């Protein structure tokens, strides 16, 4: 049991340390492919249910036949994959950032129902990862063209409200929490797929138009200067971390 | 006052009776009837709260009343609870009463009504009850909403082992609903078409986050459930005790026991209450609490510790005298003064616990990690102890702890300190020995000494002093100082006698001197190499008596063994031979013999396990066996080949080498089979010869034993008797009278006594009867031999016939007890053919003397018949005239023969 916990906790800690290493380096990475790869890997990691959902199901006793079948994402709680793919990159990132912000709030509410210190420690690791991921989203947003332009409206995700209706009893709240986490993992899987598509389009554009790649590189140079100006804003976020696994 | 009270009650009762009468007539409420009854619910606690007032009770009035409350469930006629609630009612007072329902209130409608009476404890049966109030209906289901399914109670908190009732409320009767406890389906009881209840008995703690109970519509996706928080039972605090270390604070500790498991939902608190002072404090910690000691010198304390949570309260008490619960602080300022060679004074201080308290302090002295001394000291404020019996220049560690001497409670912690005793002069002379050599007319004396042990040195040895005294010139002294840690020095002296004193010195002083004398003649010290020297070392007691300390044997120089043992070979076989050299003396060798090497040369050149190949000085290769034990002087050389040539050599070895490789001894192993053949064939030949000689020598005896001559009746002496009487009327037995099975003619020769009536050619002189057929199961037939000489009527086993079975042995014995009976038996039984013989005629009765299976002892005659033995030994026969037949008192053969002739057991 201890070893199992260690295996689950270790990647979170490694990721957390990687996120923490970014501020020490001083600024966001201005390498678009590198940052995209990091985001993709983080999303792939966070989609695994053993990082959060399995822990919740076990601690709340929802791992019983007839009960776990009801732990399914409610439609509309998180943007679907199709909806995410339809979004422009900028709006996608903003949606992702907003949704993860709501996830953080919801996790804080779920924390109240988790009594075991070990589970709480793991949940803290998940929150740390999400914060790091959000910061990488900010960094990515800076690399996109027209980052200083007026932002498009962000589609709302009504199901991802900070917490369910307070009148819910413990059982309903428990089921809702389970469904929410199920949706969260599915959402991160979709996010990973979107980032993967971004990566494919990048390699296509490199293959077909190396000149365009150079242009993008130039744009990145411009963006990196702007990025530095944005740094204080990013660091003001409470508990903000940057980083990515591998790279 | 009492009189007034009785009067008032009587008055009210009378008035109540009157009003009751009036109400019956006028239908008006009685005074003091309950009114304004309001019912509220607390779903969380499943409680109904009732609130009412008493009608017409004046403001200043105070009346003891009883209220009877009825609660019905589902319908008013289904009364589930009746309770009389007694209380004293004051004017305009709102009365309250609560009732907790086992069934969640949402599961069914409840109806409540009540009535009142003045509570007269003396005559409760004569109460005059008011009218019932109207039924108050409590229906929570109306406020549930429009969801299709509900499960109650929500988030209930119970202790493990409790009984809990669960219910669901369905909005549709069409739905088939199943409910589960942690995935296991529950069987319920239907209260009404939409409501079912489930009784859970003795619920168990499953997890900290509670037990999931849920219901599902079978054909739908809807699921509703509750979480039942089951807590472990709050345990009574254990090992509750309080103590003080400074008379200012009492520190109380306890073991809270196991966790209830629901610390979030069911927090628990610990409260400390002291009854003498009436003070109370809420403890911040789960297992301990501090209490400020009262400044007014309160000695006795009576504490109550209460552990409490929402479901349970547990208390424990202790009563104690403060002075009996003193846990002193650890002593401090531990010092050592006046540390000498063997003593040290240890001092320490203790924290003040009041002038009138005495502390008992325990001191432990450690030397080399072990406790070597223990002391108990009574202390008021300052402790002091002289530690003695210490060793000089030794590091010690001492520790001290204290406890209340008058009322022991607990020892304080130890306080430890190290110290080292001071040095003393070395106590022993150094152990010195010498080596004297003569070099160019001088004596070169080398002195060696062993460093003193720590106990002998009493400190660090700084140098060694060597004083050389010329014995020929008493005034001539030389002093030489050798710094430590040297352990030798060399002196060059004249060839005169000197006395040398060696002392060890530390910072304190000098050791006793070790004295030795050098004679000046180095020849004394010459030892020859290769010579074994035996030393006996004697000590001299204080009485100047020498005593043997030790025996030592050694060589000044070991040399290689000079000669090999004389080896005797034995037990030579085709595969091995044995070598032994028992007369070889190891002690007369020029070195310590450590073992032997056995070299074996063979044509095959292969070495077996246990040996190794060795190349000798002549480049020949052989196998070498090593014997590590010098006392082992025998060795078996094995794994040899038959008819093979070998050479061996046994040589000793010592630390400096092995003996000379002289001549090898030659040996050839014999053939593999010849020894075996010799071992087997020779004894066999001998045995056969012996048997042949014996057979030759004893041939006559063997013939008699193995092939005895068949007795010839014609050669019997009886014939002479018969001839003398010349009885011409010898009866000839007719062959038809017998029933022979088989007749075999064994021998046939002409006898001398032929009967004239017998056909000559057909009359055998001797007949041998084979046994009766196997199918014949009855007693054996009577077999008769008939010739001119005798008549036999006997079933003789020796004649291979059946033995008549004596059915009644005792009667037979009776017959045999007298000669008359015997004769009668003989006449009746044996002479079957003799009936034809006229009385008085003499005849011969042949009695076969076969070996009887019974002894001659009559009393031991067997009751079982003897089994016939085929071809048993045929014994000597004797013909007995009937007239001469007499009972034999001792002849077993006669008895046994007669026994065969039982009465009525013979056959013709």
| Helix orientation angle between A2-25 and A32-46, rounded to the nearest 10 degrees | 160
The β-bridge partners of B658 are B653
What pLDDT score does B546 carry?
A: 79
Instruction: State the nearest Cα–Cα gap between A7 and chain B, in angstroms.
Output: 24
Q: What is the mean pLDDT of residues B828-846?
A: 40
What pLDDT score does B361 carry?
A: 95
What pLDDT score does A3 carry?
A: 46
Query: pLDDT class for B557, splitting at 50, 70, 90?
Result: confident
Q: What is the mean pLDDT of residues B744-758?
A: 48
A194-198, B424-428, B462-466, B477-481: which range is least confident on average?
A: B477-481
Nearest CB neighbour to A64, from listed B183, B210, B224: B183
Spell A35-71 as b/e; 16+ CB within 10 A means b.
bbbbbbbbbbbbbeeebbbebbbebbbbebeebeebb
Query: pLDDT class for B525, splitting at 50, 70, 90?
Result: low
For residue B872, the surrounding DSSP H or E stretch is none
Cα(B782)–Cα(B610) distance, integer angstroms: 85
Q: What is the mean pLDDT of chain B?
A: 78
Burial class (CB in 10 A: 0-12, 13-18, 19+), B321: exposed
B836 φ, ψ (degrees, to nearest 5): -80, -10
What pLDDT score does B263 carry?
A: 76
Alpha helix ranges (H) inside chain A: 2-25, 32-46, 53-59, 81-86, 89-110, 117-143, 170-208, 210-236
What pLDDT score does B82 carry?
A: 95
Domains and CATH numbers, chain A: 2-145+169-207 (1.20.1250.10)
| Among candidate residues B873, B880, B908, B874, the one with its CA nearest the CA of residue B894 | B880
Radius of gyration of chain A from its Cα atoms, rounded to whole angstroms: 19
Nearest CB neighbour to B223, from listed A70, A115, A116: A70
Interface of B with A in 143-172 (CB under 8 A): 151, 154-155
B801 φ, ψ (degrees, to nearest 5): -100, 175
Q: Give the pair of three-digit tokens for residue B902.
A: 């039982």
Residue B452 CB contacts under 8 Å (≥ 6 apart), including other chains: B426, B428, B430, B461, B504, B511
Query: pLDDT class for B813, splitting at 50, 70, 90?
Result: very low
Cα(B826)–Cα(A29) distance, integer angstroms: 144
What pLDDT score does B707 carry?
A: 76
Cα(B309)–Cα(B186) distance, integer angstroms: 30
Q: With an 8 Å Cβ cutoff, are B183 and A59 in contact?
A: no
What pLDDT score does B452 carry?
A: 92
What pLDDT score does B26 carry?
A: 43
Tell me the whole-structure pTM to 2 decimals.
0.55
For B687-728, write each residue's pLDDT tens digit. Answer: 999 999 988 888 888 888 877 777 766 666 666 665 555 555
For A64-117, write each residue's pLDDT tens digit. Answer: 888 888 999 988 889 999 999 999 999 999 999 999 999 999 999 888 888 888
Spell B489-499 as b/e; 16+ CB within 10 A means b.
bebebeeebbe
The β-bridge partners of B807 are none
Cα(B156)–Cα(A170) distance, integer angstroms: 10
The β-bridge partners of B506 are B461
Assess B224–A contact: CB distance below 8 Å, yes or no: yes
What pLDDT score does B303 carry?
A: 96
Q: With an 8 Å Cβ cutoff, are A62 and B207 in contact?
A: no
What pLDDT score does B202 carry?
A: 95
With 80 as the cut, is the pLDDT of residue B748 above it? no
Residue with tokens 């002409």: B750
Q: What is the mean pLDDT of residues B55-62?
A: 77
Q: What is the mean pLDDT of residues B27-38?
A: 73
Q: With an 8 Å Cβ cutoff, are A67 and B210 in contact?
A: no
Cα(B206)–Cα(B603) distance, integer angstroms: 86
Query: pLDDT class for B743, splitting at 50, 70, 90?
Result: low
For A130-156, write each residue's pLDDT tens digit. Answer: 999 999 999 999 888 776 544 455 555
CA closest to B208 among chain A residues: A115
Assess B264–A contact: CB distance below 8 Å, yes or no: yes
What pLDDT score does B705 carry?
A: 80
Residue with tokens 């006046």: B338
CA closest to B217 among chain A residues: A66
Cα(B43)–Cα(B862) distance, integer angstroms: 107
The β-bridge partners of B306 are B271, B315
Residue numbers in B near A118 (CB within 8 A): none
Q: What is the mean pLDDT of residues B384-404?
A: 94
With 70 as the cut, is the pLDDT of residue B355 above it? no
For B470-479, write each residue's pLDDT tens digit. Answer: 888 777 788 8
Instruction: State the nearest Cα–Cα gap between B305 and chain A, in angstroms.
Output: 28
Handedness of CA B723, B724, B727, B732 (dihedral sign): negative
Instruction: State the nearest Cα–Cα gap between B214 and chain A, in angstroms.
Output: 8
For B66-99, write each residue's pLDDT tens digit. Answer: 999 999 999 999 999 999 999 988 877 889 999 9
With 90 as the cut, is the pLDDT of residue B28 above it? no
Residue with tokens 């004293």: B88
Question: How does DSSP classify residue B510?
Answer: B
A124 φ, ψ (degrees, to nearest 5): -65, -40
| Residue scoring higher pLDDT (A36 or B816) | A36
With 50 as the cut, is the pLDDT of residue B876 above it? no
For chain A, which residues lie within 8 Å of any Cβ of chain B, measuring from their own Cβ? 59-62, 64-67, 70, 113-116, 169-172, 174-175
Residue B331 CB contacts under 8 Å (≥ 6 apart), including other chains: B348, B349, B350, B361, B383, B400, B401, B402, B412, B415
Cα(B649)–Cα(B826) distance, integer angstroms: 94
Query: pLDDT class for B278, splitting at 50, 70, 90?
Result: very high
With 50 as the cut, is the pLDDT of residue B588 above it? yes
With 90 as the cut, is the pLDDT of residue B338 above it? yes
- For residue B509, how far is the Cα from the chain centroid? 63
Q: What is the mean pLDDT of residues B753-774?
A: 43
Nearest CB neighbour to B155, from listed A62, A65, A170: A170
| Residue scoring higher pLDDT (B856 or A95) | A95
Q: Give the pair of three-digit tokens for residue B619.
A: 């480049």
Query: pLDDT class for B608, splitting at 50, 70, 90?
Result: confident
Q: What is the mean pLDDT of residues B491-508?
A: 89
For residue B9, the surrounding DSSP H or E stretch is helix B2-26
Q: Where are the beta strands (DSSP E) in B382-512?
A: 382-387, 395-404, 415-420, 431-439, 442-450, 461-470, 477-483, 488-493, 498-506
Chains A, B: CB contacts under 8 A, how many? 59
CA closest to A69 among chain B residues: B221
CA angle B203, B204, B208 (to 5 degrees): 125
What pLDDT score does B52 carry?
A: 92
ipTM of this model? 0.74
Query: pLDDT class for B606, splitting at 50, 70, 90?
Result: confident
Residue numbers in B near A114 (CB within 8 A): 209
What pLDDT score does B271 carry?
A: 96
| C-alpha distances out from residue B548 to A90, B516, B536, B545, Å | 108, 20, 7, 10
Q: Give the pair of three-digit tokens for residue A188.
A: 């991160």
Cα(B445)–Cα(B524) distance, integer angstroms: 13
CA closest to A67 among chain B residues: B183
Cα(A62)–Cα(B212) distance, integer angstroms: 8
CA angle B578, B583, B589 (to 5 degrees): 115
The helix/strand/coil state of B198 is strand
Q: Give the pair of three-digit tokens for residue B397.
A: 């560690």
Burial class (CB in 10 A: 0-12, 13-18, 19+), B814: exposed
Cα(A124)–Cα(A122) distance, integer angstroms: 5
Spell B351-383 as b/e; 16+ CB within 10 A means b.
bebeeebebbbbbbbbeeeeeebeeebebeeeb
Query: pLDDT class for B880, splitting at 50, 70, 90?
Result: very low
Q: What is the mean pLDDT of residues A201-217?
A: 59
Handedness of CA B188, B190, B191, B195 (dihedral sign): positive
Distant-in-sequence contacts of A159-162, Cβ < 8 A, 24+ apart: A159/A74, A159/A76, A159/A77, A159/A78, A159/A183, A160/A77, A160/A78, A160/A99, A160/A102, A160/A103, A160/A106, A161/A102, A161/A106, A162/A102, A162/A105, A162/A106, A162/A109
Residue numbers in B near A170 (CB within 8 A): 154-155, 210, 226-227
Residue numbers in A near B227 (CB within 8 A): 169-171, 174
With 70 as the cut, is the pLDDT of residue A220 above it? no
B579-588, B634-643, B899-908: which range is least confident on average?
A: B899-908
Query: pLDDT class for A233, splitting at 50, 70, 90?
Result: very low
Question: DSSP states of B71-131 as a string?
Answer: EEESSTT-EEEEEEEEEEEETTPPEEEEEE-SS-GGGS-EEEEEEEEE--SS-GGG----P
Cβ contact A9:A122 at 8 Å: yes
The β-bridge partners of B319 are B302
For residue B36, the surrounding DSSP H or E stretch is strand B34-42
Q: What is the mean pLDDT of residues B260-279?
A: 90
B725 φ, ψ (degrees, to nearest 5): -80, -30
Nearest CB neighbour to B209, from listed A65, A67, A115: A115
Nearest CB neighbour to B182, from listed A59, A64, A171: A64
With 70 as the cut, is the pLDDT of residue B354 above it? no
With 90 as the cut, is the pLDDT of residue B253 above it? yes
Cα(B671)–Cα(B643) distance, integer angstroms: 5
Cα(B261)–Cα(B766) distance, integer angstroms: 118
| Residue scoring higher pLDDT (A24 or B14) | B14
Assess B223–A contact: CB distance below 8 Å, yes or no: yes
Instruction: Quickly count helices (H) and strands (E) in chain B.
Output: 8, 54
């Amino acid at each position: 049991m201890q070893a199992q916990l260690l295996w689950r906790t270790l990647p979170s800690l490694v990721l957390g340390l990687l996120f923490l290493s970014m501020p020490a380096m001083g600024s966001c990475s201005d390498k678009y492919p590198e940052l995209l790869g990091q985001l993709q890997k983080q999303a792939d990691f966070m989609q695994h249910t053993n990082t959060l959902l399995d822990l919740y199901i076990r601690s709340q006793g929802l791992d019983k036949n007839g009960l776990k079948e009801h732990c399914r994402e409610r439609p509309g709680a998180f943007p679907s994959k199709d909806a995410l793919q339809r979004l422009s990159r900028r709006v996608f990132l903003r949606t992702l950032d907003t949704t993860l912000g709501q996830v953080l709030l919801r996790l804080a509410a779920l924390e109240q129902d988790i009594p075991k210190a070990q589970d709480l420690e793991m949940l803290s690791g998940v929150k740390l990862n999400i914060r790091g991921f959000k910061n990488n989203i900010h960094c990515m947003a800076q690399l996109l063209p027209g980052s200083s332009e007026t932002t498009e409206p962000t589609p709302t995700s009504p199901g991802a409200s900070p917490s369910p209706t307070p009148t819910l009893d413990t059982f309903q709240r428990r089921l809702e929490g389970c469904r929410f986490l199920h949706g969260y993992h599915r959402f991160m899987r979709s996010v990973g797929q979107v980032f993967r598509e971004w990566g494919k389009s990048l390699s296509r554009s490199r293959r077909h138009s190396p000149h365009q790649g150079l242009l993008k590189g130039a744009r990145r140079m411009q963006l990196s200067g702007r990025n530095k100006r944005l740094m204080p804003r990013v660091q003001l976020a409470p508990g903000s971390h940057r980083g990515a696994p591998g790279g | 006052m009492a009189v007034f009270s009785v009067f008032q009650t009587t008055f009210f009762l009378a008035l109540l009776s009157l009003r009751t009468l009036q109400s019956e007539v006028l239908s008006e409420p009685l005074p003091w009837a309950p009114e304004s009854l309001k019912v509220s619910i607390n779903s969380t606690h499943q409680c109904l709260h009732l609130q009412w007032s008493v009608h017409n009770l004046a403001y200043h009035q105070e009346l003891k009343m009883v209220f009877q409350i009825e609660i019905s469930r589902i319908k008013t006629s289904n009364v589930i609870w009746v309770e009389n609630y007694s209380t004293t009612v004051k004017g305009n007072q709102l009365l309250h009463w609560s009732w907790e329902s086992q069934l969640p209130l949402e599961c069914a409608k409840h109806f409540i009504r009540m009535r009142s009476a003045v509570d007269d404890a003396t005559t409760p049966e004569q109460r005059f009850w008011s009218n019932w109030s109207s039924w108050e209906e409590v229906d929570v289901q109306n406020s549930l909403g429009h969801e299709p399914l509900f499960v109650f109670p929500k988030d209930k908190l119970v202790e493990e082992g409790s009984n809990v009732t669960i219910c669901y409320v369905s909005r549709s009767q069409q739905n088939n609903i199943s409910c589960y406890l942690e995935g296991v389906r529950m069987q319920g009881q239907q209260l009404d078409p939409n409501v079912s209840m489930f009784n859970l008995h003795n619920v168990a703690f499953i997890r900290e986050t509670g037990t999931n109970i849920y219901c599902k519509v079978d054909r739908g996706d809807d699921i509703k459930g509750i979480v039942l928080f089951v807590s472990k039972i709050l345990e009574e605090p254990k090992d509750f005790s309080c103590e003080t270390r400074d008379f200012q604070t009492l520190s109380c500790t306890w073991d809270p026991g196991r966790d209830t498991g629901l610390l979030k939902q069911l927090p628990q608190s610990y409260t400390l209450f002291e009854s003498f002072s009436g003070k109370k404090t809420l403890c911040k910690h789960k297992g301990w609490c501090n209490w400020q000691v009262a400044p007014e010198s309160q000695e006795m304390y009576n504490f109550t510790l209460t552990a409490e949570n929402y479901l349970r309260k547990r208390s424990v008490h202790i009563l104690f005298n403060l002075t009996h619960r003193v846990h002193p602080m650890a002593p401090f300022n531990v010092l050592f003064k006046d540390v000498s060679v063997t003593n040290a004074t240890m001092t320490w201080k203790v924290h003040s616990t009041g002038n009138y308290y005495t502390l008992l302090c325990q001191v432990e002295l450690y030397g080399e990690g072990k406790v070597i001394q223990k002391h108990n000291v009574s202390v008021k404020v300052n402790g002091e102890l002289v530690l003695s019996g210490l060793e000089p220049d030794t590091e010690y560690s001492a520790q001290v702890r204290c406890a209340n001497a008058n009322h022991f409670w607990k020892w304080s912690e130890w306080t430890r300190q190290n110290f080292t005793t001071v040095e003393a002069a070395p106590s022993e002379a150094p152990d010195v020995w010498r080596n004297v050599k003569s070099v160019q007319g001088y004596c070169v004396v080398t002195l060696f000494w062993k460093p003193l042990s720590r106990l002998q040195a009493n400190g660090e040895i700084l140098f060694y002093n060597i004083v050389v005294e010329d014995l020929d010139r008493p005034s001539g002294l030389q002093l030489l100082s050798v710094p430590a840690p040297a352990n030798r020095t060399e002196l060059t002296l004249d060839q005169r006698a000197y006395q040398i004193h060696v002392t060890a010195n530390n910072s304190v002083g000098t050791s006793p001197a070790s004295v030795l004398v050098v004679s000046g003649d180095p020849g004394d010290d010459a030892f020859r190499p290769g010579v074994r020297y035996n030393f006996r070392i004697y000590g001299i007691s204080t009485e100047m008596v020498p005593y043997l300390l030790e025996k030592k044997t050694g060589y000044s120089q070991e040399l290689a063994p000079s000669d090999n043992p004389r080896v005797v070979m034995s037990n030579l076989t085709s595969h091995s031979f044995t070598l032994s050299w028992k007369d070889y003396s190891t002690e007369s060798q020029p070195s310590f013999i450590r073992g032997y090497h056995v070299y074996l040369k063979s044509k095959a050149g292969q070495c077996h396990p246990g040996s190794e190949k060795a190349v000798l000085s002549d480049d020949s290769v052989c196998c070498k066996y090593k014997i590590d034990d010098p006392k082992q002087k025998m060795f078996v050389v094995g794994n040899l080949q038959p008819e093979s040539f070998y050479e061996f050599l046994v040589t000793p070895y010592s630390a400096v080498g092995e003996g000379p490789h002289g001549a090898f001894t030659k040996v050839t192993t014999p053939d593999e089979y010849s020894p075996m053949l010799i071992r087997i064939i020779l004894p066999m030949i001998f045995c056969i010869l012996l048997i042949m000689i014996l057979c030759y020598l004893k041939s006559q005896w063997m013939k008699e034993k193995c092939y005895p001559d068949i007795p010839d009746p014609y050669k019997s002496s009886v014939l002479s008797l018969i001839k003398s009487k010349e009885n011409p009327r010898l009866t000839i037995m007719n062959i038809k009278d017998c029933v022979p099975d088989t007749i075999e003619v064994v021998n046939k020769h002409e006898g001398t006594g032929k009967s004239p009536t017998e056909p000559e050619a057909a009359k055998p002189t001797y007949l041998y009867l084979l046994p009766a057929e196997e199918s014949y199961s009855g007693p054996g037939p009577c077999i008769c031999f008939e010739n001119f000489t005798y008549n036999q009527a006997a079933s003789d086993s020796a004649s291979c016939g059946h033995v008549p079975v004596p059915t009644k042995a005792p009667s037979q014995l009776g017959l045999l007890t007298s000669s008359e009976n015997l004769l009668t038996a003989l006449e009746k039984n044996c002479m079957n053919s003799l009936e034809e013989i006229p009385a008085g005629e003499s005849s011969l009765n042949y009695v076969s003397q076969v070996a009887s299976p019974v002894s001659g002892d009559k009393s031991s005659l067997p009751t079982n018949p003897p089994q016939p033995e085929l071809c048993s030994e045929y014994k000597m026969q004797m013909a007995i005239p009937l007239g001469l037949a007499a009972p034999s008192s001792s002849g077993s053969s006669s008895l046994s023969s007669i026994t065969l002739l039982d009465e009525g057991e013979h056959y013709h």
